[in-house]
Structure 1
C-alpha cells in the first residue's frame, strides 16, 4: 500500500519535499561524522538529504523501496540510488552514519525491531544514526500510507534489545514544511565502540 502510494505519487512527493531546509537536523548528525565519512541514506525519498551530504563532502549510499523515487533521487543527488526495502539490508559495519529521516515510520510496528537490528549491524562501532517518527502512539493508515508513530517511551522500548546502541539525544520538532503542523520525534543513536 505505502509502496504503491510512492509509485503513483513520486513526482508530487518529490516536488513537495526536495527543497525543504533540513540544515538544523543535519548539524547535530554531521557533527558526529568525520570529514569524508560514509553515510547511508536509508529510505532516501527525493534524494534531498543524499544530495546535501554529497555537497558537504561525504560518501553517500542511498536506497528507497520505490523504483519511481529511486529514479528521481538518483537524478537529484547525482549518485546511484539502489531500489531496496529495509528488510533486504545485509551491510555489516559499513557506515559512519545512517540517516533515517521520515522513512522508518512506514515500517510496521511488528517489523520495526528486525529492521532496527539490521540498521544497527550496518553501523560501524562509534557510528551515529538519526531517526525520525511522527509523534504519537498509534499505528495507522492515512492517504494510502502506513504510519507507525512513536513517543519517547516507544523509542526506548524499540531500542531496548539493541544492546550496542545508546540514545545520544532526542528532541521534538515541528514539521519543516510550511503547510504542515505535525510534531516529529527526532533522535540520535550511537553505536558503542
Structure 2
C-alpha cells in the first residue's frame, strides 16, 4: 500500500496535481490506447485515480468507469466527474473477481512496496475478465526512495515487471518508454506495459 507520508503529499497538493493533469491527460496517447483495447461499453477501473482526469476520459468514451484512490482529497475531486464512480481505498482493497474489461494502474503502483507488488498484481489478474487488459505505468530504474516532495517510489525495469506480470497470470503484449518530469519537476524515465488476462 502507499505509505501515509505519500498519501499526505497528495492530500496537500491535490490542486497542483490536478493542474498538471489538466495539461497531461488531454494529450497522453496511452489513455487512447487503453480505451481502444477495452471492450466497447465495458467496465473499467482506474486504480490509483488521482483527481480523476483519466477516469473522465474513460467515461467520455462510454466505458462504465470505477475509480479508487487512497487520498480522500483526490477521491473527492474524481467523484465530481460525470460518469465516474470514485471511492476511497487502497490497492489491497481490490477484491472483485472477473469484473473488469480493463484496469488502468497508471503510475500508481510505483508507490507500493516492492514486496507487496506481486499480491497487487494477483488481485488485478483476478479482477480482470478473461481477455481483459491491464495498463501499468512505472518509473524506470532500480531500488526505492523518496522524491523531493516526500513521496515513496519503487523503480523497475521491463524484465522484472514482465516476470512479475507473468507470475500473476498476465501476458505482457506491448510496452512504451519515455522520460517526464512529473509533479516533482525532476526528469525520470518511465515505462508503460500492456498486459492481457
TM-score, length-scaled by structure 1: 0.91
Deviation string for 1:38-85 (max 9, x for gaps)?
110000001000101111111101010010110111124553310000
| Distance in 2 (alpha carbons) for counterparts of 1:58 and 1:22 | 19
How much has 1:22 moved relative to structure 2? 4.3
* 1:28 aligns with one of 25, 29, 33: 33
| Distance in 1 (alpha carbons) for counterparts of 2:182 and 2:142 | 22
Deviation string for 1:7-34 (max 9, x for gaps)?
2222221122233134410232222212
**C-alpha spacing 1:177/1:88, structure 2 compared with 1 (3 Å):** closer
Q: Do the aligned partners of 1:99 and 1:129 also contact (CA within 8 Å) in 2?
A: yes
Q: Do the aligned partners of 2:64 and 2:83 also contact (CA within 8 Å) in 1?
A: no
Name the residue aligned to 1:188: 194
**Two-structure CA RMSD over aligned residues (Å):** 1.8
Q: Do the aligned partners of 1:47 and 1:77 also contact (CA within 8 Å) in 2?
A: no
Unaligned runs of 5+ in 1: none
Q: Do the aligned partners of 1:95 and 1:127 also contact (CA within 8 Å) in 2?
A: yes
**C-alpha spacing 1:117/1:173, structure 2 compared with 1 (3 Å):** same
Unaligned runs of 5+ in 2: none
**C-alpha spacing 1:139/1:180, structure 2 compared with 1 (3 Å):** closer
Q: Which moved more, 1:74-83 or 1:141-150?
A: 74-83
Name the residue aligned to 1:72: 77
**C-alpha spacing 1:18/1:77, structure 2 compared with 1 (3 Å):** farther
- Give the secondary-structure state (helix, strand or coil) at the position aligned to 1:19: helix
